[in-house]
Structures are given as structure tokens and as C-alpha cells.
Structure 1
């Protein structure tokens, strides 16, 4: 019986678990790259053991590129891309994927917008045609614009206004950045979306949806020569505009002081807390150690924050740490959703204490080995599917600047030591300036202001 890549790798982890310094062999993603004459980058990942194929197109445009006063534009355009084209009806991507047992979806981040499909391998050709079709022949008209704007506005109401902690999560970027356009929320605002026009959308499409701003990734079961022919047939003819692609050049300044904000919610049942620090871009050598640090703090129920805040002290329903890596300056953050009767100040003191202990106290080999094994296992699991491999490569290209980073980052995790973890925590967290967001139910916030809260 054929062993899977994951089974072989995990067997290696068990064999070497007591001494992590001996590197675990992590198989690399095998891929090839080429660039079309119009500037489109093409990455192919053949896998004959897989009966499916994943087609992905990553555009180097995200919410940081939203026009001034038009927050949410990149996300709005993600929705419009599923509407009609010159030769396709609205929602035809659903029929071309779901009706044959596949799937399709898309996402928008601060730095990119990606579209991805997984289907049986014999449907590859028409998906390539369809992706080229919506790149080159999208119908951006008043009807499509208004219908999708309404959808996005309703999504804002559900995910930000109705979600008990939606306003807290939305505040992470908007209050943490002072200068960089990362301070604009990806989902935008209802007011900015109302102010948009169909001409704004047409201009956005012409500016960013072009072959030299796109990365096509095909992973799965295909013949390389046949794939190259189809890519040339459907994408190579699309002209490259003569105008330059606008790029964000603004840099977030170094923080010189701590800041504190209060956000109130009419729907939150209990308080919450967010604390964050600025960290380097995703391709910086320190990011692997920062990621391991966040995992040591919050990966699983045996992690330090869970044990302290949720299990022992029982001040929080949830306590976690995270690393939000981006093309430019990112964030390292702590999050707590509190139990009734407890305050953000209680959680803040405990979380900062645990960070200090991690940065200055003992990190055992067993604790570090466990977390690194979990990180590597998660990435190896993603590598089992064609879509997972494509996602790793797409993120590496856009966020870190090179497809090679998909493989290199795994090796960097293996090399992280306890000393590395403590060095980066001292440098960026203990010696850094933080933004703290107290999240209060409106009734509690009002009572606090009047001095009547207990």
C-alpha cells in the first residue's frame, strides 16, 4: 500500500521527536515557473497521483489599494468577478465547478485577491478559458455593480455589526495603523460603498485586473505540454496595458508611545481585549520565530494563555495570540474574549505576564518540539491537496515575493530555537510599543463612565 507524503513525514517526526535539533525531512513542493510575454506569471505543480486539478488566479491587489474614500473596493470587486462576462452568464462558475463535483471560491486580503477552483482533472481546459474570460471580458455594468454592492453591505452588517465581536476584529487594522493604507478595513464601510459609482469600478478593473498583475497557478493532474498550450491559447493574447501599476509606497512609522482605545458594542455579551505590536514584513528572517512564539502562547489547550486565562483563572472564554504577516509591516497580537464579571484589565495583566515569562523564563525542549511539530504538521497537511499546494505557492509569491518561499519557510521553522523565540519577543514585544483595544458592551461602558459598574 502506498504511503502518503504526510504519513512518511509524520513517521519521521515520531522517530526524531525527542531531539528536534535533528532536522525532519520535509519534502519540497515541486513546481515550475514561466512568465508570458504580457507579464502574467504562471506556476504549474504536476501531481499524477491526484484525480483533481486546482486552478487559481492571484491578483496583486488588496484592500490596501482601495481608492481614497472607497474602502471595501477590492472586496466588492471580488464579488463582481462572479457576474457575467461577454461569453458567460452570471454565476456560471458555480455551474462549471459545483455541477461536476468541484468547488470555487475567492477571498480578499489587505495584500491580494485570489480566485480558486478545484474540479476533476478533465475539466481543466474550460476553467482556464473561464478565468481568462473574466479577466479580459468582464461585464461591469450598473446592474451587476448595484446587486453586489448590496451583497457586500449586508455582509458588513452580518460580520461586523451583528457579530458580537465583529467590531473588535474590525478594529485590529483600523486602530493599529496610523499611516499605511492597511488602516482601511478590508470589508469597507457602508458609507464608502454608497459613495461608489460604476465608473469607479470600471477604473479599478482597468488599473489592477491585468495580466502583468496576476499569477496563474495550476496544481494537480495534467500534462505539462498540454497545459502550456492551453495557457498560451487563452491568456497570452490578453494585452499588457502601457500604464504602470500603482503601488503602495507608504511605510508605517515606528511607534513612539503606547496607545489605548475603547470600542463599544451594543451586541457583545461580555468584554473583549486586543493588544498588538508592529512586526516586520512576512519575508523577514524573524517571522518564523515570531510565529513559533505565538504558537507557544496559544496553540491548543496546553498552551500558556489557555492554561492561565481559560483553565486556571477562568477570566476568559478564549485567549489567543496571532501573527498577522503582510507584505509590509505586520502585527503580533493578543486576543481575549472574557467571561462575565471580568474586565479587560484583568486579562491584560495576565496576558502580558505570560508573554514576559515566555521571553525571559525557561522554554523546555518538549514544549518547543511540540509546537514546531504542530506547525509543520499543519503545513504538511496542506501539501496533501492540489489546492493546498497552490495556496502555499500563491501566498509565497504575493506576500513574500517568491514562490521559493513556500519551501524555504518550512526549513526556517525547523531551525527556530528557544533563544530565537526569546530574542524576537524581547525585540518586538517587550521593547516595542503597543496598541490596546478595550472592547466593552455598551451598557457596561455607560456604567463605567458613570462610575456605577461593579
Structure 2
């Protein structure tokens, strides 16, 4: 049991998982409710996400914004997210504040206060989030609305988690209170606590604050839609304003998270699109140079899943070219086995990523939460690496032939709207397995008590001294200062090489040199080509790259400890022997210009690019990389 969690179930049905780690001075508290956007009632899409916002307001004993004060004011953090199948809330605080967080989480589970002004204000916040994420983002409609509604036929996953302006406006305060009464209950949640605590004391606090919470007498509405097998392929073109570059997507329904084929599909996805040695990057971005960006997403949820592959086209290339190139690469996966080297690369990357996602107590608790939501079993989190390692070449070809077939495929092209092709609209009035009538009665509304009547927050306990590594600090003969901080935990090693030069050192009129120099470090040395470098990085399961800040530039590396000697040797080669080849510079310039075309179509990106100029004027800190400065950069 890699997570080392203890499990128990309270009399009210709340499932509790605790994992002690005495090597940290922090603790994380997470509550995962078994309700997500798939449970949004018909005509109320976006409801679970709206409710996530409301959960940060007041309770019977806690005034609004208390969670921020309990976490941020002591150096901690708090947040939440809504997914298809869950809404999760999590806090990380110094360990001596654990009891206060348990009190607060129990109070909002049992006595959330939602009044009309709060409801209207948060609904407006979510509507603005919709405008920013879906409408202002040039590809927001594609990924947030059109892809899921095209892939799925009957599944509630076909509705967007953020909902729609119209259905958000249709909701009422009574709807919200009934939603809370229906789903925010002890027998519909997991409580996860990880970090530095005394187990016996933690158990007493959980019993004290959570055991008194009651469940409503009404059952949780049934929601278990079986997505039907596609009967034919689909091809759809969507249009939207503000699409700077055309996009192509090919997608297939696949399997739910708990399915045995998930591991093979995950490895297939790694071979397809992870890293610069992946098939899609090498073909569409590097060799053919027809795409500015590629990607694929294996999306596995509780009831169903899908895999989609995408290409945002380079300037001057069409979505039809993208579809043809994507189909060509998918056909290769069906028609011939992947190589043993590709399989090994993908596995190494996935295992290393699994380690990276378990570095902190927060990470490990989150991995456990996802496993519980999607499978109901804590063991699924422990089994993930072994399942990836067990995938064979034959498995990859088998799942490609089984799921990624032309007959099951949805093909989506996404283009700029014009007079002849007006913007496509979001599909409305989509059916759902849950209706507002299925929700539990709201019951008497909770109200914030007068201060004198509130149950006071527990006081913090004795501070737990943070454990910091002993740092070795020395210089090499060439003057390079080296700092080494050994840590226990997952077998990963990170390195960062920093240089006292950044974008503020770019020559006048040539903004972008520092950033372009950093980008080119991984694109060729005296003995290795860019594809060879990418292949070696991925064989090692490493992450190696470079970037430029305003005052400094960094080269970074992260790898499993057994691969770190070879990783740092490669890192040194990149720094000491770059070639800055003209053809690689041209590729990077083209990609940068395409990236600017996308950025300049987004209000937030434009504001971010101009704020430096507004504040600093013509001083070096005010320089901004533009479509005019990029072409002026030369290999010299």
C-alpha cells in the first residue's frame, strides 16, 4: 500500500481516509463529494460548478470568506474544483491548524448559508467565468462545448460543466438549497486527511465534528447512463468568432476509468502526443510544419470515456489538412505495432509523471480522491504504475483497432465564422437523468448566527517545526555555485541552472532574444539533433527545458533518481554545445508567430503583453515580444 492510508466509515456513512506523514509540518484536508456536472438537473447545467462557488460563503458559525482567513492568513491555501463526477474541496495548512479545518468543513457540509444576494452574486461570477473561458478564449467553444456534445450521444458528460448563461439564469435560490440537501451529505462524500497528525487525536476530532451530521431521508437520485456504441461516423464543422487559426479534432468514445483497457489507451496516448518525440509532434509540427500545436487527451470518467486528438493548424494550412494528417497517424497505430522503444518511452514518461503527481501530501491525497471517485477503491491509486508497466506492444495495437476505428470516429473542424457561416450555437435543452423534481426538499434555511451564539472556532495547537533539508553550498573550480538539498520521499531529482541574464537584456528592437535562445537549447547540439534530444529526454522519463524571465534565464531538469546522472549529462550538453541552427530558429520563429496570433485574440493575453509597456515605457522591463520583433532575430 504505497499511500499507507487508514480507512473507516462513520455511522452516518461518511468514508474517512487518513494518511500520516511525520516528515512534513503540514496537513491537507480534502472533502470529495460524489456529485459533479453529470448530476446537474435537466435545464440546470452548470449547477454543480455554481454550487462550488457558494460553498465558500457563510455557514451557521462562520462568516463569509472564513476559509480564506483560516488558510491564507497562516501561510496555507484552499481551493476547489468541479469535474464530471465530483466536486472536491481542499485546504493545506500548518499541522497545528488541523482541528480548525475539520470544524470548518463539517460546518459547511451541515449548515451552509445561501441567501438571495449571495446566490445572485455568485451566479453572476459564474456567468462571467463562462464569458471568459468559453466565449473570449478562441478555442473555448471547441473544447468546452462542441467536442463533448459531439462525442457523446446519451451520456450526461455531453453537457458542459460550466453550463450556459440561459440555464444559469433559469436557476433559483430554492433549486440551489435543494441541490445542497440532495448531494452535500455525509453518505455521499469522502473525507481525506494527509500529513502530520496524531491518529488517535484526529479520530476524536472527526468523530466530534462529523458524526453528528445527518443524512436526509430522501435517496440520492439514480444516475447511471450507459453510453451506446456508435452506429456510424460523424463529421461536423463548427464556426466561432475570433478563431485565429483553424483546428481539427478526431475523437472516439472509449472506456470508463475503471476499465482494464484504460492503461493501454493511456500508453497509446503517450506515444501519440506526449513530448516532442511523439508521433503527432514529429509529423505535424516538426516534419510537415502544418500544425502550430498538437495534442491528445485520454478522458476517463466514472461512467464513460473518450480519446480525442487535436491539431491547431499553422498559418496558411487548413483544417482539412489537419484531419488528413491526424487520420494518417491513427491508421498507423491500427495497422502496425508500435516499436519497443516507443513503448518504453511512453511508460517511462507516465511512471515519472505518476511519481511527480505524488511528491507532496496534497498530491497523494488528490490521487487517492480521484481513485475513490472513479472506482470506489483506494487500491486503484496504488495499482496505477503497475498497470502502466504491464502494457505490451500488442495491447496498444489491440486498443487502437478496437476503439480508434473510422466507424466510431467523430471528426470536428473548427473555423472562423463569417457572413456565410455564422457562429455555431451551444446545444440547449439537453436531457439529463436527474430533474429538479428529483431533488430533496430544501428544509429550513440555515442562517449565520449572531456572533455571541456561534460555536467558536477551535484554537490552533502547538506548532510543528518544519523539517528543512541541510543544504550543501560549494563552488566548482570554474566558479559555478552549487547548492544541493537532499530530501526523502518519491525517487525524483530536480536541478535548475540559473543565469544572470533575461529579457531585460534583449537589445533594443529585438525583444524575444532571451526567450528564443532558451527555446533553442533543446533543439540541437554539436552531436544531437532536436528529434534525438527529444527522444532521449522521453526515454529517461525526464523533463528538461529552459525559459527566460525578466532578469534571469533558467535551464531545468527533473527525472527519476536512477535516470538523473544521464539527465544532468544531457542538460550539460544542451548548455555547453548548442548549435542554434538556422532551420531550427525558423521553426521556432514560425511557432512563436502562430502563438502570438492566438494570444492576440484573447483580451487577457493582450492586457498581459501591454502592461509592462504601460508601466515601464521604453525601459528594458517594458519590452514585449511582438510579430515585428520575432523575424529580426538571427542565429548570431
TM-score by length of 1: 0.91
Between 1 and 2, higher relative CO (CA 8 Å, sep ≥ 6) is seen in: 1
In structure 1, how many angstroms separate the alpha carbons of the residues matched to 2:399 and 2:199?
43
Q: 1:93 is matched with which residue?
A: 67
Query: Are positions 1:155 and 2:155 aligned together?
Result: no
Distance 2:62 2:242 in 1: 42
Map of 2:310 onto structure 1: 335
Correspondences of 1:434-453 after superposition (within 5 Å) = 434-443=409-418, 446=421
Partner of 1:83: 57
Q: Distance in 2 between matches of 1:446 and 1:57?
A: 46
Q: Which residue among 395, 399, 404 is the counterpart of 2:379?
A: 404
Correspondence for 1:106 among 67, 72, 80: 80
Look up the SS of the partner of 2:292 in the other structure.
Answer: strand
For residue 229 of structure 2, the aligned residue among 251, 254, 273 is 254
1:218 maps to which of 193, 199, 216: 193
The residue number in structure 2 matching 1:132 is 106
Q: 2:395 aligns with which of 415, 420, 429?
A: 420
Q: Counterparts in 2 of 1:16-95, with a 5 A limit?
A: 28-95=2-69
| Mapped partners of 2:372, 2:28: distance in 1 | 17
The aligned counterpart of 1:298 is 273
Q: What per-residue deviation string (whole Å, max 9, x for no partner) do you get for residues 7-40 of structure 1?
A: xxxxxxxxxxxxxxxxxxxx72211111100000
Q: Structure 1 residues 445, 303: CA separation in 2 closer, same or farther (over 3 Å shift)?
A: farther
Does the 8 A contact of 1:319 with 1:336 survive in 2? yes
Structure with higher helix content:
1
Q: Which residue of 2 aligns with 1:241?
A: 216
CA distance in 1: counterparts of 2:346 and 2:228, whole angstroms: 32
Q: Distance in 1 between matches of 2:246 and 2:103?
A: 50
1:261 CA displacement: 1.6
Q: Which ranges of structure 2 fall in alignment gaps of 5 or more residues?
A: 423-636
Report the counterpart of residue 347 of structure 1 in structure 2. 322
| Residues 43-76 of structure 1: per-residue CA shift (max 9 Å, x gap) | 0011111111111000000111001100000000
Deviations 1:353-391 (A, max 9, x none): 112212332422222111111111111112120111111
Q: Distance in 1 between matches of 2:418 and 2:406?
A: 36
Question: What is the CA distance between 1:268 and its match in structure 2?
Answer: 1.2
Q: CA deviation at 1:321?
A: 1.3
Contact 2:239 2:421 in 1 (8 A): no
Match of 1:166 among 120, 135, 140: 140
Deviates more, 1:66-75 or 1:239-248: 239-248
For 1:327 and 1:78, locate their aligned partners in 2 and report how far apart those are by CA, in whole Å.
Answer: 20
Is 1:307 paired with 2:285?
no
Answer yes or no: is the 8 Å Cα contact 2:250–2:326 preserved in 1.
no
Partner of residue 281, structure 1: 256
CA distance in 1, matches of 2:159, 2:421: 28
Deviations 1:179-200 (A, max 9, x none): 1211111000000001110000
Q: Distance in 1 between matches of 2:195 and 2:242?
A: 45
Counterpart-to-counterpart distance in 2, 1:139 and 1:433? 47
Alpha-carbon spacing, 1:431–1:137, altered in 2? closer, same or farther (3 Å): same
User: How far does the alpha carbon of each residue in 1:162-184 deviate from its partner, in whole angstroms, 9 at most, with x for none?
Assistant: 00100000122122212121111
Count of matched residue pairs: 421
1:213 deviates by 0.3
* Contact in 1 for aligned 2:337/2:394 (Cα 8 Å): no
Find the counterpart in structure 2 of residue 316 from structure 1. Answer: 291
Moved more, 71-80 or 132-141: 132-141
1-side partners of 2:406 and 2:310: how far apart?
Answer: 20
Contact 1:264/1:445 (8 A) holds in 2? no
Secondary structure (helix, strand or coil) at the match of 1:264 reads strand
> Structure 1 residue aligned with 2:152, among 170, 177, 181?
177
Determine if the alignment matches structure 1 residue 203 to structure 2 residue 178: yes
Displacement, 1:342?
1.4
State the TM-score, normalized to the length of structure 2: 0.65
Identify if the C-alpha distance between structure 1 residues 165 and 431 changes in structure 2 by more than 3 Å, giving closer, same or farther.
closer
Q: Per-residue deviation at 1:444?
A: 9.1
Distance (whole Å) between structure 2 residues aligned to residue 439 and residue 129 of structure 1: 48
Higher mean C-alpha displacement, 203-212 vs 271-280: 271-280
Is the 1:277–1:432 contact (alpha carbons within 8 Å) kept by the matching residues of 2? no
SS in 1 for 2:222: coil
Please give the secondary structure, in 1, of the residue aligned with 2:404. helix
Q: Say whether the 8 Å CA contact 2:295–2:311 is kept in structure 1.
A: yes
Match of 2:524 in 1: none
Aligned partner of 2:354 in structure 1 is 379
Contact 1:40–1:216 under 8 Å retained in 2: yes
Q: In 1, Cα distance between the equivalents of 2:332 and 2:188?
A: 45
| Aligned residue in 2 for 1:394 | 369
- Aligned to 2:283, the other structure's residue is in SS state helix
**3-state SS in 1 of match to 2:285:** helix
Deviation string 1:112-163 (CA, Å, 9 cap, x unpaired) is 1000111111111100101001111100110110010000000000000000
| 1:445 Cα deviation after fit | 6.7
Equivalent residue, structure 1, for 2:332:
357
